[in-house]
Amino acid sequence: MKSSLSWVGLAMGSLLSGCIVAVDHHDSGYNSVLTVEWSINGSQSPSRCTQSAVSTALITVSSSRGYDTEIEVDCQDFGRDFEVPPGRYRVTVQLLDYDGESRTTAATTDSRELYEDDSDYVVVDFGEESFF
């Protein structure tokens, strides 16, 4: 399995918000899978969600070929896999409070190509400056 870790630049707004997005490309040999994970101040400890008054992560996955999905995931899960068809994808993650209101700025990745039997690993870290 080949694997390389590269930092993905964000739009200027996301850079100024303190969000960092990393991508690790690797071949799975099975399904095309897009894995999205997040952390709060570099940690995936469930207590970070509680301390930050975050209930869920709103994840939006969209492609140039019309595959679009938006889902809320429990903050303490710190990740979600999406089985997707080949295409060029962009991912946006935003943390929400217990009333469904935004607690952070939205972190959006650069678009990337996902091929048949490929996988892409996206990690978003929400630093203190990401929070409202």
Its pTM surpasses 0.85: no
The domain tally of the chain equals 1
Per-residue pLDDT of 68-123, as tens digits, reads 999 999 999 999 999 998 899 999 999 999 999 999 999 999 998 999 989 999 99
Give the model confidence (pLDDT) of 14-42 as tens digits: 444 455 544 444 443 337 999 999 999 99
| Res 19: pLDDT | 56
**Cβ neighbour number for residue 16 with a 10 Å cutoff:** 12
Domain with 75 in it: 3-130
Query: What's 62's domain CATH number?
Result: 2.60.40.10
Which one has a higher pLDDT value, 12 or 41? Answer: 41
pLDDT at 132: 93
